[in-house]
Structure 1
Amino acid sequence: MKKTLSFSIVIAAPRPRVWDTMLAPDSYRQWTEPFAPGCYYKGSWQHGETIRFLAPGGDGMVARIAENKLHETISIQHLGMVTNGIDDTTSNAVKAWAPVYENYRFLDHAGGTELQVDCDTLPHYDDFMQKTWPLALERLKALCEAG
């Protein structure tokens, strides 16, 4: 049974800076490190495009950008796993959970930006996500406010 978790953080930076810092390849690697050190993405953040979120060994998740409204929202539809360079969107193991969504909203907030995150997760990842998302968002905040 999927569960949606919600997180938010206020960042003392304008929405374009938060957006650009969140999505730029180098800073993406930095703020997502709590999830998996060295993780990165391949693909495009454009609406309808395929994107892969990968660990240093090349395994990870394959997704589609379900929505991209510049400086407003990004919705990622996770479709399956990447194992040994092969996308798996049809196995029974993947069908048991896919698709799941990861949604970001960028809102104006007192001279800065409130970033709201909603992400679907499975019960066995709940504790990990509850601990890791706040760490990742604090890293993103530090990167944005330093820039």
Structure 2
Amino acid sequence: MEKLSFEIQINADPEKVWNVLWGEITYRQWTTAFTEGSFYEGTLEEGSIVKFFDPHNNGMYSRVEKNIAHKEMKFLHLGEIYDGVESPQNWGEATEAYILEENEDGTVLKGEIQTPAEFKEFFESKFPKALGIVKNLSENQL
């Protein structure tokens, strides 16, 4: 398992950054960094299952491990989805966390990922771009 960390300073308050991360429209915008047309189904309540899809009905499903509004969202990835069918995976503690820390300039957004080695390169190339889009949306939307 590889542990990856990314962070970006955003000149907006944590509530605004949070809303960009998890709002239906803005989520679709910033996740284009990973796959064009990405979206999620389900609620973000702790303990609930969320399904992350691409436009072809493929993706992954995860359990919300932590949801502290405007502070932290953490997912435990459980499996993949192919043509809408769930396929459990033995990824162990494959997690993805978004941590928001308020400071005098706005918010530091941190992404912390525990991932199997085969996904390391993907995240290293895509995650900084995704955070840049979150920054742009957070700083430039009304």
TM-score category by the smaller chain? over 0.9
Tell whether the 8 Å contact from 2:10 to 2:105 is kept in structure 1 after alignment.
no
Partner AA of 2:7 in structure 1: S
Tell whether the 8 Å contact from 1:31 to 1:140 is kept in structure 2 after alignment.
yes
Question: Could you tell me which residue of structure 1 aligns to residue 20 of structure 2?
Answer: 21
Question: Could you tell me which residue of structure 1 aligns to residue 138 of structure 2?
Answer: 144
In structure 2, stretches of 5+ residues that fail to align are none
When normalised by structure 1's length, the TM-score is 0.92
Superposition deviation, residue 85 in structure 1: 1.2
Select which of 116, 125, 129 maps to 1:131. 125
Question: Bigger CA drift: 129-138 or 102-111?
Answer: 102-111
Superposition deviation, residue 99 in structure 1: 4.2
In structure 1, stretches of 5+ residues that fail to align are none
Count of aligned pairs = 141
Deviations 1:107-144 (A, max 9, x none): 01223000111011222222221111110000010000
Q: Secondary structure at the match of 2:112?
A: strand
Superposition deviation, residue 83 in structure 1: 1.3
Question: Could you tell me which residue of structure 1 aligns to residue 82 of structure 2?
Answer: 83
Q: After TM superposition, what 4+ stretches of structure 1 lie above 4 angstroms from structure 2?
A: none
Partner AA of 2:84 in structure 1: G
Q: Percent identity?
A: 30
Tell whether the 8 Å contact from 1:28 to 1:40 is kept in structure 2 after alignment.
yes
Tell whether the 8 Å contact from 2:10 to 2:135 is kept in structure 1 after alignment.
yes
When normalised by structure 2's length, the TM-score is 0.95
Distance 2:136 2:83 in 1: 34
Question: Could you tell me which residue of structure 1 aligns to residue 102 of structure 2?
Answer: 108
Tell whether the 8 Å contact from 2:93 to 2:114 is kept in structure 1 after alignment.
no
Distance 1:122 1:135 in 2: 21
Distance 2:66 2:107 in 1: 19
Select which of 115, 124, 131 maps to 1:121. 115
